[in-house]
Chains A and B, each alone.
Chain A
Amino acid sequence: MQDQIFHLQYAMDTFYFLVCGALVMWMAAGFAMLEAGLVRSKNTTEILTKNVALFAISCIMYLVCGYSIMYGGEWFLTGIQDVDVDSTLADFAARDGGFEGGSIYSGASDFFFQVVFVATAMSIVSGAVAERMKLWAFLAFAVVMTGFIYPMEGNWTWGGGSVFGMFSLGDLGFSDFAGSGIVHMAGAAAALAGVIILGARKGKYGPNGEVRAIPGANLPLATLGTLILWLGWFGFNGGSVLKLGDIASANSVAMVFLNTNAAAAGGAIGALILARILFGKADLTMLLNGALAGLVAITAEPSTPSALGATLIGLVGGLIVVVSILTLDKLKLDDPVGAISVHGVVGLWGLLAVPLTNDGATFGGQIAGAVTIFVWVFAASLVTWLIIKAIMGVRVSEEEEYEGVDLSECGMEAYPEFKK
């Protein structure tokens, strides 16, 4: 009887993991639509190409070496399919806490759930460097980011490894439930390094340094993308509970869904109201960024805040993101979709908000973790971008940028039948 229950628990937790992973996979569609909506129509084909290609590269690189660097085990996932049923049942029986103890699930489902997070981190980079980067320079960076840079910091955090043998973030009280820092801020740090190397889009700044708007081509697509991300986030945070199969875990999963949704709503309203106050108009793109900021803010700890607390954490994220986007614009860091603000600046806020509701985390630990992740990803990315720049260049020519990277990089327009 007990063995049969363990069989069921294994099946349920594995199934839950896989469904959540599939939801997170769909976030790739969200990023693709959001970015396609916020760039100009002449750069649409290229950004879509980038989004699908980076997803595929992430999956392959994480399979080849990323997962092994982050969590141990063999390269190429060798042996991941071997499951000894008897020893797995013995593991269940030997758990602390018995039936309610730690979760045990299929190793293949763990890889599937982890790999879609890598792709998410990489998707963040693509929007920030949009409209001016060479396609193949970006894809070369994706290989290094997903095969090495992200798995290294993933190992120091979720993998439980020590930072170059020097210190352990877990011992310092660092906690990042689903990756405000490990996934989102990491992606933003890589994006920031890329934006610094690349420079702003031509026409973004006037001769006296004034900020010029470059409106996105398709706000319905940007809205669709944001709502797809909102949906996918339930898998991102919900799956990170890692277990569904007992009352306490199921409650935790439900609370994570509830809080994730509440934070997105808070972030959206925060950004909408602040943008209205600052600009006098309801800025849809800020509203969209605000919802995503709420989601990023709650990702570091969606299980312990109250529903109201989660809403407020999201709301603060929504306020921060508007201020951050305006500030980065003034600093001449041109980020067409606001990725560095949404995922980086608000990701940091998410990390710092964890100790407010989770006694297991400390402010010192959160800061140490944030600094470690940022310094590593930023520095490693900067070096990688510089090497790519030396070998093949990172930026298209001025003329190609004017014509649109759809033609120079992909040779096809997204809307060939539209009148100019």
Chain B
Amino acid sequence: MKLITAIIKPFKLDDVREALSEIGVQGITVTEVKGFGRQKGHTELYRGAEYVVDFLPKVKIELAIADDMTDQVVEAISGAANTGKIGDGKIFIVNLEQAVRIRTGETGVEAV
């Protein structure tokens, strides 16, 4: 199993969710996060004084999937979240040791 974590632009969340549903992903977890990458922050103006917004708002999605889904999922996310402009985000993939569905006690691929 793999745990996929993707950081995307907030306005792309709906597109990514739809793309993942289409390829049969059963569930994702979404968090509003802030951070910076190569896009850095940007400056805003208030009463004549500039101030730097160091951390930009992003959305983090996390999903656990079977190994054979990995390529499909990565393709779906990067296809849906791509705008071609700086700040589109990243996808991280790590091996997942175990998963447990709390209601039934199922484990492994059955649980994701």
User: Which A residues lie at the B interface, using CB under 8 A?
Assistant: 211-216, 275, 278-281, 283, 285-286, 322, 325-326, 329, 338
Partner of A285, one of B44, B47, B50: B47
In the bound complex, what is the Cα–Cα distance between A158 and B46 (angstroms)? 39
CB distance from B32 to the nearest CB of A (A): 8
Measured between alpha carbons, how far is A281 from B50 in the docked complex, in Å? 12
- Is the pair B51, A279 in contact by a Cβ cutoff of 8 Å? no
Name B's interface SS.
strand
Q: In the complex, which residue of chain B has the Cβ closest to the Cβ of A38? A: B47
CB distance from B35 to the nearest CB of A (A): 16
CB contacts (< 8 Å) of B102 on chain A: these are none
B45 within 8 A of A: yes
Partner of B45, one of A279, A325, A326: A279
A322 to chain B, nearest CB (A): 8
Provide the residues of chain A in CB contact with B45, threshold 8 Å: 213, 279-281, 283
Q: A326, B48: Cβ atoms under 8 Å?
A: yes
Residues of A within 8 A of B49 (CB): 211-213, 329
A406 to chain B, nearest CB (A): 21
Closest 7 CB pairs of A and B: A213-B46, A213-B49, A213-B51, A215-B46, A211-B49, A326-B48, A285-B47
Q: Which residues of A contact B44 (CB under 8 A)?
A: 213, 215
Question: Judging by beta carbons under 8 Å apart, are B48 and A275 in contact?
Answer: yes
Q: Do the beta carbons of A283 and B51 come within 8 Å of each other?
A: no
CB distance from A135 to the nearest CB of B (A): 25
Chain B residues near A216 (CB-CB < 8 A): 46
The chain B residue sitting closest to A210, CB to CB, is B49
- Write the B15-50 contact mask toward A (1 if CB under 8 angstroms, else 0): 000000000000000000000000000001111111
Min C-beta distance of B9 to chain A, whole Å:
20
CA distance A373 to B84 in the complex (A): 63
**How long is the Cα–Cα vector from A322 to B50 in the complex, in angstroms?**
16
Bound complex: CA of A285 vs CA of B47, how far in Å?
Answer: 7
Q: Quick one: closest A residue to B50, CB to CB?
A: A213
Chain A residues near B50: list those with CB within 8 A: 213
Query: Can you list 13 A-B contacts with CB-CB less than 8 angstroms, sorted by A residue number?
Result: A212-B51, A213-B44, A213-B47, A213-B50, A215-B44, A215-B46, A281-B45, A283-B47, A285-B47, A286-B47, A322-B48, A325-B48, A338-B47
Q: Which residue of B lies closest to A325 (CB)?
A: B47
Q: Give every chain B residue within 8 A of A326 (Cβ-Cβ).
A: 48
Q: Which residues of B contact A286 (CB under 8 A)?
A: 47-48
B27 to chain A, nearest CB (A): 22
- Interchain CA distance A52-B49 in the complex, whole Å: 31
Tell me which residues from 27 to 82 in chain B have a Cβ below 8 Å from any Cβ of chain A.
Answer: 44-51
Q: Give Cα A213 to B47, complex, Å.
A: 7
In the assembly, what is the distance between CA of A278 and CA of B49, in Å?
A: 11
> In the complex, A325 Cα to B47 Cα: how many Å?
8
Chain B residues, CB < 8 A from A275: 48
A215→B46 CA distance, assembly (Å):
6
For A289, the closest partner residue in chain B by CB is B47
Q: 5 new A-B pairs (CB below 8 Å) besides A286-B47, A286-B48?
A: A213-B50, A215-B51, A275-B48, A283-B47, A326-B48
Chain A nearest CB, measured from B10 CB (Å): 15
Complex: A286 Cα to B45 Cα, angstroms? 12
Residue of chain A at shortest CB distance from B32: A419
The distance from the CB of B89 to the nearest CB of chain A, in whole angstroms, is 22
- Closest beta carbon of chain A to B76's beta carbon, Å: 29
